[in-house]
Amino acid sequence: MKIAAIEITHHRLPLDPPFKASWDGCARSHFDATVVRVRTDEGLEGWGSGDLMVGFDGHESLFVGHDPLRLERHHTVLSHIDFHYGRCWPLDLALWDLAGKISGQPVWKLLGGRHARVRAYASSGALRSASELADAAERFLDEGFPALKVRFHRGDWREDVAALAAVRARVGDRLELMVDCNQGWRMPWDVEAPWTFKDALTVARELERLGVYWMEEPLHRADLDGMQRLRNATSVRLAGGEMTRDPSAFRDLLRAGALDILQPDAALVGGITGLRRVAQMAEQFGVGFTPHTWTNGAGVVANLHLAAGVADAPFLEFPYDPPDWSLDRRDFLLAEPLRPDAEGWLNLSEKPGLGYELNEDLLRRTRR
């Protein structure tokens, strides 16, 4: 069996009303997504999505004609493309989906089958007033979520802490709370300086008081010394690594003792092939592994298979903040949205590959 073709299509879903993400001051009036299809000469097809595949055009010949199951070989080629051009890891996800369909096995089992389910945490995306955020937390509880990630980025961390305190006062200890400080990286237009070590430590003290499970990206991604010092100075777990691109950088984070939780996203960094190694490396250092998942529904599914197959993830990120970020928006590529069960578990099935179908009708209507 050989790879016969690779097809890449781009899609745009209009958003009305727009979505204003906490990390991006520009309201988003549309949601762009890219679908990668890998077809074999025997008619099987694997799917992947996530990043926009910038720089892949013209490299199809490096894969066409090759055995689709040579996943390590394909990963090496993609790592070279990543170095020279852009992040084309959705192709790796499509190849894993195809490998599962060829073998008749779900990807989570091909990866080792460590777990058949993972608890979801509701990952908010919008900044809300303290009372609105507390109301939302109660709704997440009613839907069965065991944990909620709250966004900080109001311009003054004291306002962020006040909103978090309102949530804790409303839900007590019925929800685990995480905080995304959004200091590790910036959107291209955002020139605001990240927190200093003393800023982050002051916030950490407040998060300790409020019983926060982890604080995410509290310092610039390159400040390994600051993260190590902060980790030693607080009882709150430190999480990060979502936009780390090079495998050596993960090694450096782990060697520096900078994090308690590592969060790379397979749709953006290394694919499933690369991140299974990172997950194993994290375990050797006694560091947790649970992927970041803010791409789209297909990306969430891929990271779910990865986390279930190779890690002991305490929770998996489930981007969900209705009405601003609904399942209909996030999962518009999918024939059926991914949903947790009534107790907040994301359950894996026995379906071959990544186990989802594409919404072909909506993909036709949203194709650019």
Residue 353 lies in a domain: no
Residues 227, 131: one domain? yes
Same domain for 313 and 278: yes
Same domain, 271 and 327: yes
Question: Domain total for the chain?
Answer: 2
Shared domain for 184 and 319, answered yes or no, is yes
Range of the domain at 288: 110-347
Same domain membership, residue 235 and residue 154: yes
Q: Which of 97, 46, 38, 33 is nearest to 62 (CA)?
A: 38
Indicate whether 274 belongs to any domain. yes
State both tokens at 70: 């040579």
pLDDT of residue 182: 95
Residue 352 lies in a domain: no
- On whether both 88 and 229 belong to a single domain, the answer is no
CA dihedral 125, 127, 131, 133 (to 10 degrees): 10
Q: Are 293 and 266 in contact (CB under 8 A)?
A: no
Shared-domain flag, residues 47 and 151: no
Distance CA 161, CA 138 (A): 18
Indicate which CATH number applies to the domain containing 304: 3.20.20.120
* CA-closest candidate to residue 319, choices 148, 193, 186: 148
354 domain-assigned: no
- Please check whether residue 303 lies inside any domain of the structure: yes
Residues 153 and 231 in one domain: yes
| Domain CATH number, residue 76 | 3.30.390.10
| 175 φ, ψ (degrees, to nearest 5) | -125, 135
Is residue 177 assigned to a domain? yes
Same domain, 204 and 102: no
**Residue 143 near residue 116 (C-beta atoms within 8 A):** no
Distance (Å, rounded) from C-alpha 160 to C-alpha 330? 25
Q: Is residue 127 part of a domain?
A: yes
Residues 323 and 336: beta-carbon distance below 8 Å: no
pLDDT score of 200 = 98
**DSSP H stretches of helix in 85-196:** 90-103, 107-110, 130-142, 157-171
CA distances (Å), origin 143, targets 175, 339, 343, 345: 12, 11, 8, 11
Task: Determine, yes or no, domain membership for 41.
Answer: yes
Quick one: 90 and 128 in the same domain?
A: no
Mean pLDDT by 10 residues, the chain (368 residues): 98 97 92 98 97 95 98 98 96 98 98 98 96 98 98 94 98 98 93 95 98 98 97 98 89 97 97 97 97 97 98 98 97 98 98 98 98
pLDDT at 245: 86
> Is the domain of 24 the same as that of 161?
no
| Bridging pattern class, strands 261-262 and 288-289 | parallel
The structure tokens listed for 208 are 């300790």
Based on the fold, state whether residues 278 and 254 are members of the same structural domain: yes
- b/e map 161-180, b = 16+ CB within 10 Å: bebbebbbebbeeebbbbbb
